[in-house]
Chains A and B, each alone.
Chain A
Amino acid sequence: MGWLISGPLSPQGHLEFQTGPMEMVIIAVAVICVFGLAAWHARGRPPAWPELAALAVGLFAAATALVRPVWIEASGREEPGVLAILVDDSRSMSVLEDGKPRSEQVERALGQAQVGRSEVFTFGSELGAGDLRSFDQSESDLTRALQGLRERYAGERLAGVVVITDGIVRGGLRDRVASSGGAPLELPGPLTIYQVGQAEELSDLAVSNIASGGYAFQQAPFEISASIQGAGYAGRPVPVSLLEDGVVVATQTVTLDGQGKAQAFFSLKRERPGRFVYQVQVPTWEGDAVPENNSLPVSVRVVRDKIRVLQVSGGPSVDQKFLRLFLKQDPAVDLVSFFILRTPDDLEQSPYASSELSLIEFPYRTLFTGGDRDGELDSFDLVIFQNFDYGPYFQRESNDLLGEVADYVAEGGAFVMIGGDRSFDLADYEGTPLGEVLPVQLGLAPKQATDLTPFSPQLSAEGRVHPISRLLGNAEENEQLWERLPPLDGLNLSLSLAPGSAALLQHPTLKTQEGDPMPVVAVREVGKGRSMALMGDSSWRWVMSEAAAGNGNQAYLRFWKNSMRWLMQDRDGQRVRVEASRDNLGIGEPVRLITRVRDVGFEAIEGVPVVGTLQGPKGLQSFEGITNAAGEAVIELEPGSAGSYQVKVEAGDRGKLGQDYTTFAVSARDPELDELLPDSVFLRQFADLQGGVYYPAGEAGSPTLDPRAARLVEEEKQTPLWSAPILALLASLGLGLSWLLRRLKGLR
């Protein structure tokens, strides 16, 4: 009988109507109207109830069919759980092992892993949908991939989780697993790991890491240590080179241990502050899987611990006293003073025995030779010859030792010669190597080499803007201050300024042979270094006269502080400075070069044109910009190739406001390929931690499956009652019988 109602119906089902409420109302109204009309026509005409009853049955059946009733029965079924397979898609999977990419082993692992219902995913920095393998992703983060898997199958138990990888993964998972007591990850199914890649089949020599500390102090030894990794080369000696500007500065040979690892150490010392780019390099042997990882650059910033100053004076004097007091009171200065307390002349006249004296030998050879001759000259940031006559001490070594000092200046040192009766032409510096780096030209006979008339020096045009002679930020006040200072008591004369030099202070009336004002304070840039000449020995009066007037000693202090900063090219004292946003960057990464421009008072200047050059391994690149309201010109560049880069900027019209330099290093290294050896230790530990199974490369096995893992698939059975034959039967019988009874009574 089930056919009468379109099929068997379960009592767990429920009834739904496929007709909307409005349509149901219309149908109901229509049925009532039809029945009401029939009942109205049948009034007073008994017996009418049989036909009305048949009509009611027919209308009910028709109306029921019209509202389209459906019998809904819900049901579900269980399916076996999914096996999720995660394939490492990073570039380390492309490394050649025995001439073939490591990724070729993935197919074999997949063949073992794919049992039952499985879905394959790739992972790089995160989980990728589908099996779209490229083996070219820049990293592989297994932690994020597993997290992505959990989210994708939230609430569902998987038959298993399979990971196919070389174990070189990021995201901190390796550190977490390596640290004892690491808690297992929450995974949606039991873990099976298939390792691909075998260390035994890989040949790769690499500088895997460099540790430099990032910065070092000048004069103090610092160390660069490099981790060398040589897969396939265990036990072999490896020559490791340290390069600076492409030139090998140190080499050492290390022997790789049984795991193919070694550490190389380079001890260095820089005499000057600055940024220096080094590169550690190992050779590229035949069969090297990734030659790009055979070198690694690093930028080291060398900073001053203290400013080391050598003050050599031909004899104690009032002028020397005040300069020493100034230098000693600055905690940032490490002062080494040598004063000639007794000359050969004094020796001849002295009635005292040497044992009564507290004198030491003048260690001039140590002081005036560089590090290559075990001397200390290079260790000084600033050398001051204050009224010092070298002759009685250097004698036959004069040219040699003065040449050392001249070389020191040319190589970036700072030098000041201060006047007096034992200085400049009165000490025969003319024609010596040191005389060649002075900012004044010597060559006057002793009787013409001095003028003992007190005078007030005047600022030259250069002196009005030069950082040494700008004692006050306001130009007018600065000039007034110089006019206020007491006269100097005599002057060492010179033939003229040396080429490329500038006089900052000059004599008001005396002229050089060329007719220019006689220099009093002159400066010069010599090679990488700078020199200064103060042609007198009474600048100490700038202290005492100002103190007498209650003005303190700021004029003297600022003059010498400015001098030291300028001579030592102190970056803190520079009005133009350029910095790279990062010292070490990867190829393809942009670098921001920030040039800051300040005025004399160190206020930011807006609208200053900045031009610069970037000298890299592939040539010179120019750039330009203009400073903003913060006094900064920011230029973003993308260095195209690996190596060290030197940046030079000039600010203002033709660099009038100053220039600065910096360096940075660009590495061609692909961080993903910094490490190539499969990490079987990590994979085994991870599998153990998770209670899973680990298959080393080349080993076969099935994945661990959770037999309880299943998923419920919901289904719904719909039985359309509106098409049930019983409704059609009742409707036709009811309506037909009603019509027949009416016809039998002679009605229509």
Chain B
Amino acid sequence: MRRREFLLSAGATLLLPSQAWALGKVSTVDVVEIQLPTGTLSRPNAWRTMLYEVARTTSVETDPEGVVQLPPDDLALFEHPFAVLVGDAAFGPLSAEHLEQLKRYLTYGGFLYVDDTSGVPGSDFSLCVRRLLQRMFPTRPLQRLERNHSLYRAFFLIERPLGRVVGPGYLEGIKLGSIYPIVFGQIDLSGALERSESGRSLRPIPEHQRREATKLAVNLVLYALTSNYKQDQAHVKALLEEGRL
């Protein structure tokens, strides 16, 4: 049986995300949660939901169970190009060595989504994040991602980034070259995605909001993989012609 036949039959019968068939686990998308001594949270189920939705909806092959927690000084970080930093409280400054390693990770291709789950504008966590990023890239400030940013159309068309909280209505990021390897959201995205072991949503929010949060999570993964692909001329032209831009 050829692979295509195999997948078609499996997809038709199970209606589940196709099992990752990449050549090895290292080639599938997973998530690393960067853990600091204080201030950060671990929400593996939220990211599993994200990976599941990505696998179910897109052609990206993910490892649905692939969520690991690592401190920023662990070199294993470089084996997982998609990282998240989730928190709701203040954290202490990283050592220069850890900062340098994290910077190297982001400079050479890693992607970091920072998720402020506090739901409070100007939270201690967000202040610490800003300080951290300021130290890491002193000449590159966090910028608001414009409405036409590639992240908002990496897969889904997103009008407004939503998480568990409505938030400020925008995401921020730091631009290196032509891409944003660091994206900062203050909408508790993981809170909207997190489910219990039984699969039920842990936090009561409107279904539309949860759906939009899920779409944003999918776009985050797609953007991390394709960066500004959606700004390529062919895509812009086609979307304009179809009236979707």
Give me the interface of A with B, judged by CB distance under 8 Å: 314-322, 324-325, 328-329, 335-346, 348-350, 352, 355-361, 363, 389, 391-392, 419-422, 426-428, 446, 450, 452, 454, 489-492, 536-538, 540-541, 543-545, 547-548, 550, 552-553
Alpha-carbon distance between A492 and B24 when the two chains are bound, in angstroms: 11
Are A337 and B78 in contact (CB-based, < 8 A)?
no
Shortest A239–chain B CB gap in Å is: 41
Q: Is the CB of A316 within 8 A of B3?
A: no
Task: Kindly provide the distance from the CB of A300 to the nearest chain B CB, expressed in whole angstroms.
Answer: 28
Pick from B105, B107, B177, B226: contact of A339, CB below 8 A.
B226
Does B157 touch A at the CB level, under 8 Å?
yes
Q: Within 8 Å CB of A421, what residues of B? A: 3, 21-23, 61
Binds A, one of B25-33, B122-130, B185-193: B25-33
Query: Chain A contacts of B178 at CB under 8 A?
Result: 328
Min Cβ gap A631→B in Å is: 36
Q: Nearest Cβ in chain A — how far from B72, in angstroms?
A: 12
Q: B136-180: contact bitstring with A at CB < 8 Å (1 yes, 0 no)?
A: 000000000000000001111100000000000000000001110
Asked whether A392 lies within 8 Å of B227 as measured between CB atoms, the reply is no
Question: Chain A: interface secondary structure?
Answer: mixed
B11 near A348 (CB under 8 angstroms)? yes
Q: How far is the CB of B68 from chain A (nearest CB, A)?
A: 15
29 contacts between A and B (CB under 8 A): A314-B59, A315-B58, A320-B226, A321-B224, A321-B227, A335-B232, A336-B234, A339-B59, A341-B155, A343-B59, A346-B56, A348-B15, A349-B11, A349-B56, A349-B57, A350-B56, A350-B57, A355-B157, A355-B244, A358-B239, A426-B3, A428-B4, A446-B1, A446-B2, A490-B23, A541-B26, A541-B79, A550-B104, A553-B108
Query: Which residues from 83 to 111 on chain B have a C-beta closer than 8 Å to any C-beta of chain A?
Result: 101, 104-105, 107-110
Q: Of residues A337, A348, A363, A544, which shows the largest number of chain B Cβ atoms within 10 Å of its Cβ?
A: A544
* B57 adjacent to A346 (CB under 8 Å): yes
* In contact, B234 and A360 (Cβ under 8 angstroms): yes
* Chain B, 16-43, CB within 8 A of any chain A CB: 16-18, 21-27, 29
- CB–CB A358/B8 < 8 A: no
Assess the B232–A454 pair: CB atoms within 8 A. no
The 9 lowest CB-CB distance pairs between A and B, nearest first, are A490-B23, A489-B24, A315-B59, A358-B153, A316-B225, A547-B108, A360-B238, A490-B24, A548-B78
Which residues from B are CB-within-8-Å of A335?
A: 232
**Beyond A428-B4, A547-B108, is A356–B215 a contact (Cβ under 8 Å)?**
yes
Of A325, A422, A537, the residue contacting B227 (CB under 8 A) is A325
Q: Which residues of the partner chain B approach A544 to less than 8 Å between Cβ atoms?
A: 78-79, 81, 105, 108-110
Contact of A547 with B78 in the complex, beta carbons under 8 Å: yes
Q: How many whole Å from A638's CB to the nearest CB in chain B?
A: 51
B111 to chain A, nearest CB (A): 9
Determine if A489 and B23 form an interchain contact, defined as CB atoms under 8 angstroms apart. Answer: yes
A673 to B177, CA, bound (A): 59
Which of A315, A359, A543 has most chain B Cβ within 10 Å? A359
Query: B29 near A538 (CB under 8 angstroms)?
Result: no
B205 interface contact, C-beta 8 A: no
Question: Contact between B58 and A545 (Cβ–Cβ < 8 Å)?
Answer: no
List B residues at the A interface (Cβ < 8 Å): 1-4, 6-8, 11-12, 15-18, 21-27, 29, 56-61, 75, 77-79, 81, 101, 104-105, 107-110, 153-157, 177-179, 215, 222, 224-230, 232, 234-235, 238-239, 242, 244
Which listed residue, B59, B75, B242, touches A548 by the CB 8 Å rule?
Answer: B75
**Are A492 and B234 in touch, CB under 8 angstroms?**
no
* Complex contacts, B78 vs chain A, CB 8 Å: 544-545, 547-548
Partner of B23, one of A320, A324, A419: A419
Partner of A452, one of B16, B23, B101: B23
With beta carbons under 8 angstroms apart, the residue of A339, A341, A427, A489 that contacts B3 is A427
- Taking A336-B232, A389-B4 as known contacts, 19 extra A-B pairs with beta carbons closer than 8 A to each other, sorted by chain A number, are A317-B225, A320-B226, A321-B109, A321-B227, A324-B227, A328-B228, A341-B59, A342-B155, A346-B58, A348-B12, A349-B16, A356-B156, A360-B235, A360-B242, A446-B1, A446-B2, A489-B24, A537-B22, A544-B105
Q: State the CA gap A355–B234 with chains docked (Å).
A: 19
Whether A318 and B59, one on each chain, are in contact in the complex, defined by CB atoms closer than 8 angstroms, is no
Query: What is the chain B residue whose CB lies nearest that of A367?
Result: B234
Q: A341-B222, A352-B57, A391-B4 are in contact. Are A450 and B229 (CB under 8 A)?
A: no
User: Given A358-B153, A363-B234, A544-B109, do A324 and B60 touch, yes or no (CB 8 Å)?
Assistant: no
Cβ of B156 and Cβ of A352 under 8 Å apart? yes
What CA separation (Å) do A317 and B225 show in the bound complex?
Answer: 6
For B156, the chain A residues whose CB sits under 8 A away are: 352, 356-358
The answer for the CA separation of A452 and B28 in the assembled complex, in Å, is: 13
Given A317-B60, A340-B59, A543-B108, verify A357-B155 contact (CB < 8 Å). Answer: yes
Contact A329 B177 (CB under 8 A): yes
With a CB–CB cut-off of 8 A, which chain A residues contact B24?
452, 454, 489-490, 538
A336 to B59, CA, bound (A): 19
**Does B8 lie within 8 Å of A345, measured CB to CB?**
yes
* A338 contacts across to B, CB distance below 8 A: 234
B194 CB, min distance to chain A CBs, angstroms: 19
